[in-house]
Structure 1
Amino acid sequence: MRKLLVIALVGLAAQLVDGALGMGYGLTSTTLLLVAGVAPAAASASVHLAEIGTTLASGAAHWRFGNVDWRVVRRIALPGAIGAFAGATFLSALSTESAAPWMATILFTLGAYLLVRFSRPLRRNPAAGQLRGRFLGPLGLVAGFVDATGGGGWGPVATPALLVSGRMEPRKVIGSVDTSEFVIAASASLGFLIGLGTGGFLLPMVLALLAGGLIAAPIAAYLVRIIPAQMLGAAVGGVIVLTNARVLLGTADLPSAVPVVVYLLLAAGWVTALVLAVRVLRRTRREGALAAATAPVDDAATHAEGTTSADADSSTRALSGADR
């Protein structure tokens, strides 16, 4: 019972992260399950089964608020489902000894990516036109495969790629990725069911994850207004990097001093990323405050210019009338 309570808290924490960043439920919950001693394939299978419920609720909410581009969902979901099914089948065939370093490598890489992404501003290239299928198809295929084999990765791979394209509103990027993730979670679960059987799903753990996620959903919607995504992304990225570095270092036969040095270097990188995230956040807030402060001045200047022009026109008309 105590372990299930911990798992429910894991689901709650993962949903809080996902609600604030638009990504990270699978990434966070799988990492924490591995720390709790769950086998890699069972962790990914259980997380994806729980995600069927959380992504369905999330997708319905995004659809209700008009945050979904169904054209993008259709073109990214099918390749993503194929990639997720293939990834689940691949992971199911690996032994626990082989799967642990494989999954840790993927999670470590995605955690490092979160550190880099949220320690600097996201640059978007303005572009016109719709996203093409030849871009969405391969993106969905890769993101789906990474998601199933790593226990998470659909959001961290798909969301930034769509944002950087500059051809979609950020709210529609997050809404479309979240909505399509329901198909990816279902496809991955089917792959794990075929590869592992029903015994591969730890149902009490799935229910605990789902319960925690559903409880956290409304809280996350509120916290997203308070907690800066910049700071949360860098913080979560560092936790994921350090946690999975422990697994990777444990698989190698290294002198005792080497892991200590690696941990210190990673910790220094994490602190650096947090400092950069704070600077980016402050700069963004200053620019926002400056823009808000100059807007009324510009409006007043425009109004004054218009009034002056009107007065000048009136004077001109008056002089013309006097001449006549």
Structure 2
Amino acid sequence: MTWIAAYFATGAFIGFLAGLLGIGGGMTLVPVLAAMFTAQQFAPDHVVHLALGTGMASIMFTSSASVRAHHRLGGVDWSLVRRVGPAMMVGALLATALSAWISQRALALAFSAIVYAGATQILLGRKPSAARGLPGTPALVAIGLVIGVVCGLVSAGGAFLTVPFMLFCGVSITTAIGTGAALGVPVAVMGTLGYVFSGWHVAGLPPLSAGFVYGPALVGLVAGSVLTAPLGARTAHRLPVSILRRVFACLLYVLATKMLWTYL
């Protein structure tokens, strides 16, 4: 019960951030879950895999709760979701299905490098420019495929890349946040299937796991996040988020550094 309470509290915190910034929460969750699973003495060679898979599965529920709130507030560009989403799904499934053949050290390195890059983009993000616009559909599909692969490797919904990209193209911040959350849902579904598949026959995983998705952690995380994600979304539409974006970027730097320190 102690660990379930810890998962619930972590989920509540991640859920608020998901609603506020459009993130799925996977990047923030992975180092935290890895530390929790290590403390519980789960499969030493697959702690990061379990953290990635469980974090990805939680995004399905966290982002869904966030999207509902943003949609009611008019903050989701569904036409953009339809153009970019399918390519992101393909990229995420491809990356996660191959995750079991990638070493834990390589995953930790990839996670940290990409998170550093994403945090820098968030930290240096500029105000939207009306002079810029989104590229055509072929370019959006190519960008979506690349982002999907990245999402699968680091267990993220992709908002840490899609939101800065949309801001650069002149999309308003509230629409970028809501659309980024919406793009994260199908990516999380495909990514979760990939992590379940790649870990299905791996020996030594903890009981109640479906591949690399640990059930008890997922339940606790979801229970906490679905309560707070709508609150974060409402806050995003009422308050300026520039300071909070900087705080979030700094948090990502800390988490990525912790991952490097632990697994490299």
Task: Give the TM-score, by structure 1 length.
Answer: 0.68
Which residue of structure 1 aligns with residue 96 of structure 2? 88
Which residue of structure 2 aligns with residue 314 of structure 1? none
Partners in 2 of 1:227 and 1:6 — Cα distance? 29
Aligned positions of 1:50-65 closer than 5 A: 50-65=58-73
1:195 aligns with 2:207: no
Which residue of structure 2 aligns with residue 176 of structure 1? 179
Q: Is the 8 A contact 2:16 2:230 kept in 1?
A: no
| Deviations 1:96-128 (CA, angstroms, capped at 9, x unpaired) | 3432333233233333433333xxxx2333247
Q: Is the 8 A contact 2:23 2:180 kept in 1?
A: no
Task: Give the TM-score, by structure 2 length.
Answer: 0.82
1:186 aligns with 2:189: yes
Which residue of structure 2 aligns with residue 66 of structure 1? 74
Letter paired with 1:8: F
> How large is the Cα RMSD of the aligned pairs?
2.5
Q: How many residues align?
A: 247
Which residue of structure 2 aligns with residue 27 of structure 1? 27
SS at match of 2:98: helix
Query: Shift of the alpha carbon at 1:249?
Result: 4.0
Which residue of structure 2 aligns with residue 216 of structure 1? 228
Partners in 2 of 1:192 and 1:73 — Cα distance? 23
Partners in 2 of 1:2 and 1:246 — Cα distance? 24
Relative contact order (alpha carbons < 8 A, sep ≥ 6): 1 or 2 greater? 2
Which residue of structure 2 aligns with residue 137 of structure 1? 141
Closer, same or farther in 2 for the Cα pair 1:34/1:112, shift >3 Å?
Answer: farther
Closer, same or farther in 2 for the Cα pair 1:169/1:93, shift >3 Å?
Answer: same
Choose 95-104 or 9-18, whichever is displaced more: 95-104
Partners in 1 of 2:118 and 2:240 — Cα distance? 20
**Between Structure 1 and Structure 2, which shows a larger proportion of helix residues?**
1
Q: Is the 8 A contact 1:34 1:40 kept in 2?
A: yes
SS at match of 1:36: helix
1:11 aligns with 2:19: no
Question: Any stretches of 5+ residues in structure 1 without a counterpart?
Answer: 253-324
Query: Shift of the alpha carbon at 1:19?
Result: 2.0
Which residue of structure 2 aligns with residue 206 of structure 1? 218
Which residue of structure 2 aligns with residue 41 of structure 1? 49
The structure that has the greater radius of gyration is 1
Identity among equivalent pairs (%): 23
Partners in 1 of 2:239 and 2:51 — Cα distance? 28
Q: Is the 8 A contact 1:53 1:210 kept in 2?
A: yes
Query: Shift of the alpha carbon at 1:234?
Result: 1.9
